[in-house]
Amino acid sequence: MELSQFIEKFAEQFDNTPKSSFAATTDFKQLEEWDSLISLSVISMVDDELGKRITGADIRSCATIADLHKLVESK
């Protein structure tokens, strides 16, 4: 999956954060809406869209959305 598409899918997991807040360099864990439910939604999205399994620890090890995209692609 291309990075731009991944950012879009990532942003879809949020309800109240504007789409303009999401970019490759976004430090997503600092977003006000970020919580364990969204973390779970991201895990589910990666599983549904890419058929890959990531963990909460994987997500926490990433600083930016681009980092997470790279990690997912390496799985």
Stated length of the chain: 75
3-state secondary structure of 61: coil
Contact positions with other proteins (CB under 8 A) in 27-66? 33, 35-37, 39-41, 43-44, 47, 53, 55-57, 60
| Residues sharing a CB contact under 8 Å with residue 45, sequence separation 6 or more, in sequence order | 9, 10, 12, 13
CB of 4 to other proteins, least distance (A): 26
Give how many residues touch other proteins by CB under 8 A: 17
Could you list the residues that contact other proteins (CB under 8 A)? Answer: 15-16, 33, 35-37, 39-41, 43-44, 47, 53, 55-57, 60
